[in-house]
Every structure is written in C-alpha cells, then in structure tokens.
Amino acid sequence: MKFFIDTANLDEIKKAYRIGILSGVTTNPSLVAKEGVKFEDRIAEILQAVPKVESVSAEVTPHAVTAEEMIAEANELIKINGGDKNITIKVPMTLDGLETTRYLADKGVKVNVTLIFTVNQALLAARAGATYVSPFLGRLDDISEDGVQLVTKIAELFRVHNLDTQIIAASVRHPDHVTRVAMAGADIATVPYKIIEQIAKHPLTDQGIEKFAADWVEPKK
C-alpha cells in the first residue's frame, strides 16, 4: 500500500516528501480553505514541491455542480504549471461527476472520484474511467457503519472484475485504520501528517534509543 498525504499545508507536504514515503497528495475544498490561500496558487506550489509523486488531487470547487461546470474548472486546473502530468482532478460521486470523469479519462487526465460510500458507487466510478476512487472510512465509522469493510468489499470487487482503478482509503482517522486498510487491499491510504508521525513512533523505539545513548561509551583512540 502506498501513502498519499491528505492536506493542503505546504510545510506538512514538504516534510512527508523529505521522509521519502510519499506517492501523492490529496486536497479538498475544506483543506484548502483552512490554509487561507488562493486555490490554484496552492495547487501550483504543491505540484512544484513534490515532483516525484504519481498524483496531486485538486478538487473541483463546490460552485461546480453540473458536468459542464466541472469540466470547465478541470480544463483550467490541468493547465497549472504548464500542464503538470501529476495533476489529478477530484470530482464528487454524482452523475455529473461521472460524466466529467468519462470526459477527462478519454482525454488522458487522471480522475479521483471522491465521497464514495458504497461498493456500487465505486463500481460506477471505475466504469466511468476513474484512476482512483476514494471511499471515506472515517465518515462511515462516524455513523456506526464499518468503513474498513467497505474497502475490503471494493478491493474484492475490483479483483474479481479485473478493474485497474486504484482504491484510496480516505478519511483515515487513526493508526489502526492504516493497518486495517492495508490488510484489506487498499492501494493507497491518504492520511493527515499527524498519522504519519503516529505510525512512525513506538515507545519501545524511544526507550531503546535512550538506552543505547545511556550505554554508549566513546571508544578509546
């Protein structure tokens, strides 16, 4: 399973990229709004900051509701930085979002269909040509449904039908989600920076480092 970072914060993106674990970035209107910056400018900065990843998701704005409106926004987004090949257009899972997906996929543009909450939605998005589908596990857990189970089922369905759309486990809230979606067959988990820090750490690692430091004696020359 690969890691994407789920943020529009440039410092966090740069830190995760330096660690060498990053395969992509996902943003959404809420994450961009939190940064208080111009959307297109931030996407341009992110694309520049992470040249070796496979995908940077830029979501159409909430003003774009019809396929025509989404396509118009996507056509501007794909021009950023002279047409960076890593840009991925993120569209909501609606009929207009699917129409946009098919249009962009036929043009060779990567699409991430977001706000997936059922297996059928994932199947439709894959058939519309999505490069990625994003099931939101945390938000399903919030309403007492099993988000990881959804990822398991989508992974099985894509395997049985030989669909090459990649599953991005999204709305990941804690380290156990990461382990469980990796075991469930997610291709990617998109996670906040805080989770990267959490899964890198273990108290016994810290204790071990302290003990090695305490035991260390400089060799005599």
Torsions phi, psi for 141 (to 5 deg):
-55, -40
Q: Which of 55/190 has CB closer to ligand E4P? A: 190
Residue 29 binding ligand E4P, by CB under 6 A = no
Q: How far apart are CA 86 and CA 162, in angstroms?
A: 24
Q: What is the DSSP letter of 136?
A: B
Residue 174 binding ligand E4P, by CB under 6 A = no
Listed ranges 17-25, 42-50, 123-131, 133-141: which one lies at the site for ligand E4P (CB under 6 A): 133-141
| One of 28, 86, 88, 165 touching ligand E4P (CB under 6 A) | 28
Residue 134 binding ligand E4P, by CB under 6 A = yes
Q: Which of 161/194 has CB closer to ligand E4P? A: 194
Provide the minimum distance between the beta carbon of 138 and ligand E4P in the complex, in angstroms, as a whole number: 5
Q: Helix (H, G, I), strand (E, B), or coil: what is residue 135? A: strand
Torsions phi, psi for 175 (to 5 deg):
-55, -35
- Can 79 be counted among the known catalytic residues? no
Tokens representing residue 166 in the block:
């990649």
CA-based Rg of the chain, rounded to a whole angstrom? 19
Residue 214: CB atoms within 10 A of its CB come to 7
Q: Which of 100/190 has CB closer to ligand E4P? A: 190
Residue 6 binding ligand E4P, by CB under 6 A = yes
Q: Which of 139/153 has CB closer to ligand E4P? A: 139
Residue 136 binding ligand E4P, by CB under 6 A = yes
Interacting residues of 135 by C-beta distance below 8 A, sequence separation 6+: 116, 117, 122, 147, 150, 151, 154, 167, 168, 169, 170
Binding site for ligand E4P (CB under 6 A): 6, 26, 28, 114, 134, 136, 138-139, 170-171, 190
